[in-house]
């Protein structure tokens, strides 16, 4: 399984005030799901909330559930029903894939640990059309 950053050309009238005009982080969704499930077994709503907190906005069901389905098809996660909810777990394959991804990201971002820390995201100034 490979994860990529998707690059895009800046668009006029972009409504996303806190994202980047040049790099989309959509490729990280599967990684973030695996990471969150390594910390705690969660249902889809809980995953959506936790990951949504990182991007400062809730994930829609149309975003989280297709990603969960793809990860299930690749046998990286499974679920068990608990009442009406499906609680997701990492499989052994999922754990080893996550370890591989941690190593991959560590190599990609080696040397940046002193530059990367949590700081508030500043909204871009909105242009006023006259």
Kindly report the CATH number assigned to the domain that includes residue 41: 1.10.10.10
Q: Report yes or no on 113 lying in a domain.
A: no
Domain that holds residue 75: 19-108
Q: How many structural domains are present in the chain? A: 1
Q: Report yes or no on 130 lying in a domain.
A: no
Give the per-residue pLDDT at 114.
Answer: 72
Q: Report yes or no on 59 lying in a domain.
A: yes
Give the whole-angstrom CA distance, residue 57 versus residue 54: 8
- Torsion (CA) 46, 51, 52, 53 in degrees, nearest 10: 100
Count the neighbouring beta carbons within 10 Å of the beta carbon of residue 119: 6
pTM of the model: 0.70
pLDDT in tens, the chain (130 residues): 455 444 343 444 444 455 556 655 566 889 999 999 999 999 999 999 999 888 777 788 888 999 999 999 999 999 999 999 999 999 999 999 999 998 888 888 777 767 776 666 555 555 555 5
17, 123 contact by CB (below 8 A): yes
Give the per-residue pLDDT at 11.
Answer: 41
Count the neighbouring beta carbons within 10 Å of the beta carbon of residue 76: 22
């Amino acid at each position: 399984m490979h994860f990529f950053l998707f690059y895009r050309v800046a668009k006029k009238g972009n409504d996303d005030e806190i994202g980047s005009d040049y790099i989309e982080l959509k490729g990280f969704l599967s990684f973030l799901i695996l990471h969150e499930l390594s910390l705690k077994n969660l249902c889809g709503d809980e995953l959506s909330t936790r990951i949504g907190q990182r991007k400062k906005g809730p994930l829609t069901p149309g975003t989280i559930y297709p990603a969960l389905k793809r990860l299930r098809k690749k046998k990286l996660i499974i679920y068990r029903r608990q009442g009406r909810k499906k609680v997701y777990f990492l499989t052994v394959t999922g754990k080893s894939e996550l370890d591989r991804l941690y190593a991959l990201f560590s190599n990609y971002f080696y040397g940046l640990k002193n530059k990367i820390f949590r700081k508030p995201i500043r909204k871009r100034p909105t242009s006023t059309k006259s």
